[in-house]
């Protein structure tokens, strides 16, 4: 009992449907992880200890092969990596940044702290601890991949 042309055509169509469904599910996994990550990063940035004006905006951008979570704003580096001689150290993956190494560093090493201009939130500060918002979000996303994949493939 051999395969006829109709059986082969049916098998090809079934494999094509499986391939298309697999591509759709892979894209859905990437989107759900990016969306989840953006929400987690937004929470972390918005609740971070920061004396200045917290202008961080989180977005998700589609790129070739997936999505990217973006953090934009003047305060991103100060919040992510910390600032000031008192609090500016401690990010486990500083990527070349640290106190006094990024734009707007001002008086990062002043033991008396400094004053933030009124239009930027105002007030005296000694800096802020690193919130590690994107770093912690990346860590959490690594732990969520299997769970999200299982949910997508179950549906």
Instruction: Please state which of the ranges 46-55, 103-112, 143-152 shows the lowest mean pLDDT.
Output: 103-112
Instruction: Please state which of the ranges 10-14, 17-21, 106-110 shows the lowest mean pLDDT.
Output: 106-110
pLDDT at 145 over 90: yes
Q: Where are the domains of the chain?
A: 5-154
What pLDDT sits at residue 40? Answer: 98
Confidence of residue 71 (pLDDT cuts 50, 70, 90): very high
Q: Which residues of 83-93 are buried (b: 16+ CB within 10 A; e: fewer)?
A: bbbbbbeebee
Dihedrals phi, psi of 115, to nearest 5 degrees: -105, 130
In whole numbers, what is the pLDDT of the chain averaged over residues? 85
136, 142 contact by CB (below 8 A): no
Prediction pTM value: 0.76
């Amino acid at each position: 009992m051999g395969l006829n042309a109709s059986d082969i055509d049916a098998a090809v169509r079934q494999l094509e449907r499986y391939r298309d469904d697999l591509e759709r599910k892979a894209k859905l996994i990437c989107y759900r992880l990016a969306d989840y990550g953006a929400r987690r990063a937004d929470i972390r940035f918005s609740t971070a200890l920061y004396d200045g004006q917290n202008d961080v905006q989180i977005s998700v951008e589609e790129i070739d092969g997936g999505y990217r979570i973006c953090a934009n704003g003047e305060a991103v580096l100060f919040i992510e990596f910390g600032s000031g001689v008192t609090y500016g150290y401690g990010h486990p993956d500083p990527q070349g940044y640290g106190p006094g190494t990024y734009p707007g560093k001002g008086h990062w090493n002043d033991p008396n702290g400094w004053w933030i201009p009124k239009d930027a939130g105002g007030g005296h500060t000694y800096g802020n601890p690193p919130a590690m918002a994107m770093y912690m979000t990346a860590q959490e996303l690594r732990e969520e991949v299997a769970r999200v994949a299982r949910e997508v493939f179950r549906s």
